[in-house]
Amino acid sequence: MRTQVYLASLSNTGFGLNPASVPLQLGYIKAYAQSVLKDEIDVKIFITVESLLQAIEHQKPAIIGCSWYGWNIYLTTNALQYIKKKYPGILTVVGGAGAPEDEAGCLRDFGLFSGIDAIIPNEGEIPFVNFVKQFLAGGAESFRETKIDGVFYYDRHKERIVAGRPLEKTGDLSILPSPYLQGDLDEFLAMDLTPMIQTSRGCPYGCKFCVSGRSSWNKLRLFSTERVKQEIEYIEQNAVSKELRLTDENFGIHPRDEEIAAYLAELRREKGFPTALRMYTDKHINSRIKNITLMLKDLIPMNISCQTLTPEVQKNLGRVNISIEKFSEAAQWAHSNNINITTEAIFGLPGESKQSFLDVVNTFIKLRLDSSVIGTLFMLKETELNSAETISKYHYRTMYSVAERGYTKYKDFESVEIDPWAVSSSSFTFDEYIEMHEFAFIFNFFMTRGFLKEMVYAWDSRGVKIGAVILELIGNPALYPFIIDKIKRLHSCLLDNLFDTPEEVHIDFVRKYSLVNNGEYIGYMSPYILTCLLEGEMISSENQQVVIDEIARAAKSVFDRDGTGEEKDFFAEMDFLRQLIRLIIIPFWQKEPLAEKIYLDSPYDLVSWRAKDHSGTLSQYACKQPMKLVLKINSLSAYVQFIEKHAKEPYYLQSEYFFRSFRTNNIRRYIEMK
Ligand code: SF4
């Protein structure tokens, strides 16, 4: 009889499946294990606690292997603890990017999480197969004495770790069979989960806040181009979801990536697949990255993630960004090719203060980017930033909140997923953390989705700074009551839901959940989810006018104090931009069919203004005759699918799904010349 091996990459299910992606990482392990151990084993993959527990009740496996990362750290360990209590004979293994690489880290985790027997750091295929081979040869007891390469086993009787040698990374990825092409992931492709493709492994950059920045992951290795194309074709033909995600950290870092991009562009032209593409391209812009972005320009923006521009902070992070000159040159190139250019920054990195971060944000505005996202620092497990040494060096204080959609209940099993946040350090206080959270909420509403991009650049060219407008809004509750109400709700959410320990988060969430009638939605306890809901309220048909009016009034007030140029010109620009914003917002809630293109007679040449990086005042682009512009949805099919899928859901859920799933490139209408 074959030995049963279960693999699980657990998603929370209390408020819908989260995350909802094809478990590619387990597909690799299953495909490789079957290729080596053939009919000695039977491997099944699970993504929910419910299906895993039901399968165990039906047939107890010998081994359960779980993939472990930031979004399921607690769910995985809670599930394994629950399983070990009921079925102590099952061997349990966790592995992946959330697993510690050294003995001290493993000892800590074995102590914290009693349901784990073994830990496999980094790539799991070869060490997991080593582990299963040993089980087949010697049974569960043999792990107490036998060292397995790439595996940390915990002997709980003797409270000691039995570890083999660390393994080198899989140098030749061709030894790993394709789980897609073998059909190992078919059941998940049929479930409307987002399909993922990995074209390469490794990241040569060493950012301390990221698990891919660990030195063990710095060597770049490739799957063959032919295999990648076959996998994409397989997904196109077999997946319910028509979206695609590339897991590569720096797509375009290798010359052959151009060929893959050309293949994707051709597929999109011929078959409309993918309808949406999510990927990170290499942050170091060269002709290859430009070419890739050009080929895929209706699917992806040119993204230059920088996280900070403050030199001291970059040094503390071990991160090398491109220079501002190169950033600016890339922005000019993108605009002249009608490509969106985007970036991201994190508040709270080592050495970053409130003022230095505001300087970073001001530089983003000067660069005239199409979208900038700012967030706060997440203390991701197993990053160098989250090490005891770094925490002590920068005096970080960590607090915890419930993770987005981070709850699962099945029979008597209950788990709350918990996020760790850096809420103060030697360079910022807790009050500044809360203030920057509120600042980020308004900034992201203006700039991440790009809804107010033109308005912000029109202000900036007349001396009206975005920071001053945000402070005007925040500082005058009586004048801007609608927006202030949203900020107050975010403020309360932060103060009510941040706790000093994960245990307090768990207790608080379970108590609140029981008070609201099981099943009622309280996902908004997570600050990130709340911001999605609030943004939805702000752009809804009934509220968008009042929001835009409050923002325009705040800008006029700042103009009276700081502005340059003629007041009448500024007012005329604002009046036109208020209309434009309402047309640019795509009503994802609309029951009637969406128009792919709408037309506008514009008194300004917006196309030339953008091509020239929104430099100069908008009035300098005034036309003698109104200019015919087209406001176009980039990928209408993605909207059609979204509306069909979510039409029956309440508005707050539609908003959440919209802001979580639509990316910069397709979240508002594009402006083109007719
Ligand atoms: S943040 Fe990006 S570039 Fe830096 S280590 Fe992580 S994946 Fe690599």
Pocket test of ligand 1: the residue of 212, 289, 373 to mutate, having most ligand atoms within 8 Å of its CB, is 212
Sign of CA dihedral 197, 198, 204, 205: positive
H-helix or E-strand spanning residue 560: helix 544-562
Residue with tokens 């993630």: 305
Which residue has a Cα nearest atom 7 of ligand 1?
A: 249
Which residue has a Cα nearest atom 4 of ligand 1?
A: 207
Q: What is the DSSP string of 461-489?
A: TTT--HHHHHHHHHH-TTT-HHHHHHHHH
Residue with tokens 């300087």: 359
Q: Note the pLDDT of residue 666.
A: 83
Identity of the residue numbered 487: I
User: Whole-angstrom Cα distance, residue 350 to residue 391?
Assistant: 9
Strand 152-155 relative to strand 160-163, pairing: antiparallel
Output the CA angle 519-522-523, nearest 5 degrees: 110
Which residue has a Cα nearest atom 2 of ligand 1?
A: 249
Distance between Cα 283 and ligand 1 center (Å)? 9
Q: Is the CB of 205 under 6 A from ligand 1?
A: yes
Q: Report the nearest atom of ligand 1 relative to the CA of 204.
A: 8
Q: Is the CB of 346 under 6 A from ligand 1?
A: no
Distance between Cα 284 and ligand 1 center (Å)? 12
Q: Is the CB of 384 under 6 A from ligand 1?
A: no
Q: Note the pLDDT of residue 517.
A: 67
3-state secondary structure of 512: helix
Q: Is the CB of 306 under 6 A from ligand 1?
A: no
Contact 317, 208 (CB under 8 A): yes
Pocket test of ligand 1: the residue of 208, 249, 253, 343 to mutate, having most ligand atoms within 8 Å of its CB, is 249
Pocket test of ligand 1: the residue of 198, 201, 207, 316 to mutate, having most ligand atoms within 8 Å of its CB, is 207
Q: Is the CB of 419 under 6 A from ligand 1?
A: no
What DSSP designation does 622 have? Answer: E
Q: Is the CB of 253 under 6 A from ligand 1?
A: no
Distance between Cα 206 and ligand 1 center (Å)? 7
User: Whole-angstrom Cα distance, residue 204 to residue 318?
Assistant: 12
List, in sequence order, the alpha helices (H) in 369-501: 388-394, 430-447, 453-460, 466-475, 481-497
User: Whole-angstrom Cα distance, residue 87 to residue 84?
Assistant: 5
Residue with tokens 């009638």: 517
- Give Cα separations from 200 to 137, 253, 604 (angstroms): 33, 10, 46
What DSSP designation does 347 have? Answer: E
Q: Is the CB of 203 under 6 A from ligand 1?
A: yes
User: Whole-angstrom Cα distance, residue 564 to residue 20?
Assistant: 49
Q: Is the CB of 282 under 6 A from ligand 1?
A: no
Contact 258, 292 (CB under 8 A): yes
Q: Is the CB of 361 under 6 A from ligand 1?
A: no
Q: Domains in the chain, ordered, with CATH? A: 3-163 (3.40.50.280)
Q: Note the pLDDT of residue 160.
A: 96
Q: Is the CB of 317 under 6 A from ligand 1?
A: no
Q: Report the nearest atom of ligand 1 relative to the CA of 249.
A: 7
Q: Note the pLDDT of residue 148.
A: 96
User: Whole-angstrom Cα distance, residue 384 to residue 316?
Assistant: 11
Q: Is the CB of 212 under 6 A from ligand 1?
A: yes
Pocket test of ligand 1: the residue of 200, 205, 219, 314 to mutate, having most ligand atoms within 8 Å of its CB, is 205
3-state secondary structure of 324: helix
N-terminal to C-terminal alpha carbon distance within the chain:
69
Strand 152-155 relative to strand 243-246, pairing: unpaired
Contact 498, 421 (CB under 8 A): yes
Q: Is the CB of 211 under 6 A from ligand 1?
A: no
Distance between Cα 211 and ligand 1 center (Å)? 8
Q: Note the pLDDT of residue 526.
A: 83
Q: Is the CB of 513 under 6 A from ligand 1?
A: no
Q: Is the CB of 373 under 6 A from ligand 1?
A: no
Q: Report the nearest atom of ligand 1 relative to the CA of 210.
A: 6
3-state secondary structure of 8: strand
Q: Is the CB of 621 under 6 A from ligand 1?
A: no
pLDDT along the chain (674 residues), means of 10: 96 91 98 96 98 98 96 97 97 95 96 96 94 97 95 96 88 94 97 95 88 87 97 98 95 97 97 94 93 94 92 89 90 91 96 96 93 94 93 98 93 96 98 95 92 96 94 94 96 95 95 76 81 95 96 96 95 96 95 94 95 94 95 91 91 91 85 87
Distance between Cα 499 and ligand 1 center (Å)? 29
